[in-house]
Structure 1
Amino acid sequence: MSASSFADSDPWVVYPGGQGAGAGKHIVFVTGDDEYRSEEGMPMLAKILSVRHGFKCTVLFAIDPKTGQIKPDHQTNIPGLQALDTADLMVLFLRFRELPDEQMDRIVKFTHSGKPIIGLRTATHAFNYSRNKKSKYRPLSFNSGTPRGGWGGLVLGDTWLNHHGHHGRESTRGVVNAKYKTHPVLKGVTDIWGPTDVYGVRKLPADSKVIVHGQVLAGMKPSAKPVEGRKNDPMMPLVWTRAFKTESGKTARILATTMGASTDLQSAGLRR
């Protein structure tokens, strides 16, 4: 992060917009997980989008209110969510957060605005209200029955199920679905690989388009062979799109992927 990217008083980072396809557009990254380093990977993506494409990008973090420092496993505080009021796109990479209602108000307002949303890796299980069971947002917990799967199930199309690949032993190869090989999301993508494992995914909503499947590899290198047997027959969805009908009546474009860890983002194909 460059010194000019943030103000000393603000516990978030802003990368200014410029010339390019993103000129005049604002992307807000909401980070907070305690395993996959969203607080490292998302600023990198934000700076690429700012410098190379002209988007204004704001990156928000889980902050320990006692120290004012980034603390990925602090589950109850993400300051700066008012940035969503001017956002054109929200990128959400959260895991088991339990935010106070006044912070969740901002996320939920954007969720139902009809604007596009990208959910990465653990966004399927972004929220878990285990402390404040009287919160009006408890139904958005990942294990909620109504709506099924909470925020992840409602918006992205699924919630947390399991590690389909063996965590820490079996990496992931992205296999493009030939049916959608000309999809705009795949423009310039030639290879997708990451060291994180494939997540299990239930049956996605009927409107979902699985544009990349996740092939489980028998090892932690790109050269590893595919695992034989049922794990890859069929392969799990890895990247999909869908249309989310919001409470406002508007339809939001959704892109979800169960990849996205900072180590995954070494793959140029995934970054694209």
Structure 2
Amino acid sequence: MRLFAILCFSLAVISCSQADDGPLVYQGESGPGAGRHIVFLAGDHEYRSEEALPAMARVMAKNLGFKCTVLFNVDPETGFIHPGNSNMPHTDVIETADLLVFGLRFQNFPAEQMQPIVDYLERGGPVVGTRTSTHAFKIPANSAFARFDHQYRGEEMKGGFGRQILGETWVSHYGKNHVMSTRLDIVPEQADHPILRGVKNPWVEAGGYWVDPMPGSLVLANAQPLDGMTPDSPPAKDKSPCPGVWVRTYTGKDDQSGRVFTTTYGASEDLRNDGFRRMLINGSMWAMGMEDAITGDLNVDLVGPYHPSTFRFNGFRRGVRPLDLAGWDTPIMAPSKPTK
């Protein structure tokens, strides 16, 4: 009987360790980012932020010296990454973050996971928002966090997190995915902005979003939907450019302000483009007030094998735990992992 009890306890410990084996951390050693901590929140249903954000984190850690922690939506029973399930363990690490990078969609975190995000925003921490983060949260009206919902109508935070922090909430698609890619045209008047140093020919494979950023936002690049899936595809005849990359500031609880870099792109396959990737890295550094360290020749090369999945709903790779992506040479993600 005692042996049976010991066996059951051992199995419980193993099960628990599998379900929650700690956050994924990439620890840089040297570079302009040494001593700074970036936390990435990967949790969207379609655009594979669970691939794009760890790839971005590796670049910033290995090449530039940052400490990068990547948090994922995780199945609480298996410990496997399960995008979109509104469970993101270890958000307490945000307390020491110098930058918070959002790759979320329609999340409704439990209070203990949401509160560290709220605390960070109230202190005016720097923010980067990618793709679906304009509609990062979908929260019931009776929740203490309802004001972060993407459709929140109260005047104190109209449009929720997306509108009031990033500068825009969800509006509509503006270019059909997998049929129309997007060229990001740098606004000529902003060509000397630190975020655009070294950025050449940014192009992304995701279709467009229509947006009209909050007054006070500074648009750095306009998104031109293309009639095709190559950088030299012609502009879509019925679609004029609209903002695709911008910066702004927001105000926290006690008039503390934070810098924001927002782009409506950042899907898994978008990270393959050198120009877009550099813009994303530069934007992250600018948000932290590191513009003096941004040079046109920063090393923004991808680190380790990167195998982005073709983004689609429910198209995530199964059977992957966060720590399966640890180290510089593990694949993100292994092509052998099934997507169904």
TM-score (norm 2): 0.74
Looking at structure 2, the residues matched to 85 and 263 of structure 1 have their Cα atoms a distance apart, in angstroms, of: 31
* Counterpart residue number, 2:137: 127
CA contact (8 A) 2:163 2:214 kept: no
CA distance in structure 1 between the aligned counterparts of 2:21 and 2:93, rounded to whole angstroms: 12
**Using the alignment, how far apart are the partners of 1:112 and 1:269 within structure 2?**
32
User: Is 1:221–2:227 an aligned residue pair?
Assistant: no
**Cα deviation code 1:169-228 (max 9, x no counterpart):** 2110000001110111111100111111110103x2221100000001001121211112
Determine which of 243, 246, 251 is the counterpart of 1:240. Answer: 246
How many Å apart are 1:83 and its aligned residue? 1.1
CA distance in 2, matches of 1:248, 1:95: 28
- RMSD over aligned CA atoms reads 1.3
Unpaired runs of at least 5, structure 1: 1-6
Do structure 1's residue 257 and structure 2's residue 263 form an aligned pair?
Answer: yes
Alignment of 1:168-247 (within 5 A): 168-202=178-212, 204-229=213-238, 231-232=239-240, 235-247=241-253
Structure 1 residue matching 2:147: 3-state secondary structure? helix
Which consecutive segments of 4 or more residues in structure 1 shift more than 4 A?
A: none
Query: After superposition, where does 1:1-272 map in structure 2 within 5 Å?
Result: 9-74=20-85, 76-130=86-140, 133-146=141-154, 147-202=157-212, 204-229=213-238, 231-232=239-240, 235-272=241-278
Contact in 2 for aligned 1:127/1:142 (Cα 8 Å)? yes
Contact preservation (8 Å) 1:11, 1:60: no
Cα distance in 2 for partners of 1:225, 1:66 equals 48
SS in 2 for 1:70: coil
Structure 2 match to 1:3: none
8 Å Cα contact 2:183-2:223 kept in structure 1: yes
CA contact (8 A) 1:34 1:72 kept: yes
CA distance in 1, matches of 2:143, 2:124: 24
Work out the percentage of aligned pairs sharing the same amino acid. 41
- SS at structure 2 position matched to 1:42: helix
Q: State the distance in 2 between where 1:11 and 1:37 align.
A: 21
The structure richer in helix per residue is: 2
- Separation in 1, partners of 2:23, 2:54: 10
